Amino acid sequence: MSNLTSISMFLLREFSDVRELQILHFFLFLGFYLTTLAGNLLIIVAVAFDHHLHKPMYFFLTNLALMDVGSVSAIIPKSMANSIMNSRSISYSGCVAQVFFYFFFTFADLSLLTVMAHDRYVAICNPLQYEMIMYKGACIQMIVIVWITSLLYSMLHTCSTFAITFSSNVVNQFFCEVPKLLKLSYSNIYLVEAGLIVLGCFIALGCLIFILITYMQVFAVVRRIPSVHGKKKALSTCLPHLTVVSLFLGTAIFAYAKPPSNVSSFLDVAFAVIYTIISPMLNPFIYSMRNKEIKTALWKLLDFRHSARSTFRVL
């Protein structure tokens, strides 16, 4: 095999070689991308401008929205550009950047979902100590730790991935997915990155177990709340988070836990779309539907924009 360590580009998988379907893919992904941006940015703006939402839970939710915007921005724009330009290529440096930023935002997402589970545990199981435990400085420290560990984890993955010798530059996925890149290696260095992926799976499993145990304790406390209204209020802050965790981890685990195959199937692409695009797109809607405070803040924001527009027209 030829040594392709000095390759200048990779060739990504096309959704179709039919021009009309490529244009359809472009507009479909454009819709996904704009919906994700609009939903998450609305959450960020609503929390920023409504002082009633200046609480730890919404501070974490704002950071989650930022991470979701970052993760889709690392993948979708390049895929759309390739479709509209009838191309498959991504530069070597572009592939490196895609791997780095995707791992960075995804690991930060997972870490933050775990922190948010801890926040709900303290709020429901230790409400009298909530302000003392989840004070502003502690929340900022948690976010800083999430960003720093995600940065280090992403750098480690990116460096180990691109230290390997590639035997081909054809990636059987619509973005630079690390497992697909590892299949292009014929050197033993890829075992290091494979080990890091296994480590990542154990970390994800550990986070999932922590979240499950946390919510088992939360639900045990919720069951003892005497009033129905109190139970509904407690559950309204937990169920959206559990739904987001289930969607994020469920699709990712299913995609990576299935037996490996040398042939890239439609299911590979479908699950990749779900855990890389659909999950970040749905998160703001999941949090908005069952959270009255978020819905109220969004209505205030939209009403403010409408009022400002009406005032401008009058003037």
Looking at residue 142, its pLDDT comes to: 94
Q: What is the pLDDT of residues 238-273, one digit of tens each?
A: 888 888 888 887 777 666 665 555 545 677 787 788
Token representation of residue 8: 């200048």
DSSP E strand boundaries for 190-261: none
The residues, ordered by sequence, that sit 6+ positions from 44 with a Cβ below 8 Å of its Cβ are 62, 65, 66
pLDDT class for 312, splitting at 50, 70, 90?
very low
Residues 151, 106: contact at Cβ < 8 Å?
A: no
Looking at residue 260, its pLDDT comes to: 53
Please say if the pLDDT value at position 278 is more than 80. yes
Q: What is the pLDDT of residues 129-166, one digit of tens each?
A: 888 999 999 999 999 999 999 999 999 889 888 887 88
Q: What is the pLDDT of residues 14-38, one digit of tens each?
A: 887 888 888 998 999 999 999 999 9
DSSP state of 53: G
Looking at residue 3, its pLDDT comes to: 44
Distances (CA, A) of 143 to 64, 108, 135, 139, 158: 10, 9, 13, 6, 22
Q: What is the mean pLDDT of residues 36-46?
A: 90
User: What is the C-alpha to C-alpha distance for residues 94 and 21, in angstroms, rounded to an integer?
Assistant: 25
Looking at residue 314, its pLDDT comes to: 44
pLDDT class for 297, splitting at 50, 70, 90?
confident
Domains of the chain: 9-314 (1.20.1070.10)
Distances (CA, A) of 153 to 196, 244, 250: 9, 22, 21
φ/ψ of residue 188, rounded to 5: -75, -10
pLDDT class for 290, splitting at 50, 70, 90?
low
User: What is the C-alpha to C-alpha distance for residues 191 and 186, in angstroms, rounded to an integer?
Assistant: 10
Token representation of residue 126: 């230790």
Distances (CA, A) of 16 to 5, 220, 257: 28, 50, 26
- Helix (H) or strand (E) segment spanning residue 30: helix 19-49
More confident residue, 58 or 292: 58
Distance, first Cα to last Cα, the chain: 72
